[in-house]
Amino acid sequence: QVQLVESGGGLVQAGGSLRLSCAASGRTFTNYVMAWFRQAPGKEREFVASITWSAGITYYADSVKGRFTISRDNGKNTMYLQMNSVTPEDTAVYYCAARLVVTRSFDFWGQGTQVTVSS
């Protein structure tokens, strides 16, 4: 069974940086797309960024483009989200997710990690 475990969340001041990690296990992820989503209080969950595990092709939401960087370490089976120049609007629970390249829905989710940005 696929397991995704996020870490690295916490409290950071506006303008600061934070790096989230997602440790993946349970299978080989060569044919998977990995992604970060987030959900702020009172709002729906939204896409943040994604990366194809094998080729490393990345996509970003407009709201984070130029500030966040998604990456993965195949040897460690870990995905990262480097968050720079954070603002209070980035405050949310951040979730790691995975899906097969050939499917459209993300079938596997982590438990989430809280990121709080103070002004």
Rounded to the nearest integer, the mean pLDDT of the chain is: 96
Mean pLDDT of 82-97: 98
Regarding beta strands 10-13 and 113-118, do their DSSP bridges make them parallel or antiparallel, or are they unpaired? parallel
Q: Are 110 and 82 in contact (CB under 8 A)?
A: no
Instruction: Provide the pLDDT for residue 67.
Output: 98
Phi, psi for residue 19 in degrees, rounded to 5: -120, 120
Q: What's the confidence (pLDDT) of residue 69?
A: 98
pLDDT in tens, 33-71: 999 999 999 999 999 999 999 999 999 999 999 999 999
> What per-residue confidence (pLDDT) applies to 119?
92
Environment class of 62 (CB within 10 Å of its CB; exposed 0-12, middle 13-18, buried 19+):
exposed
Q: What is the pLDDT of residue 53?
A: 94
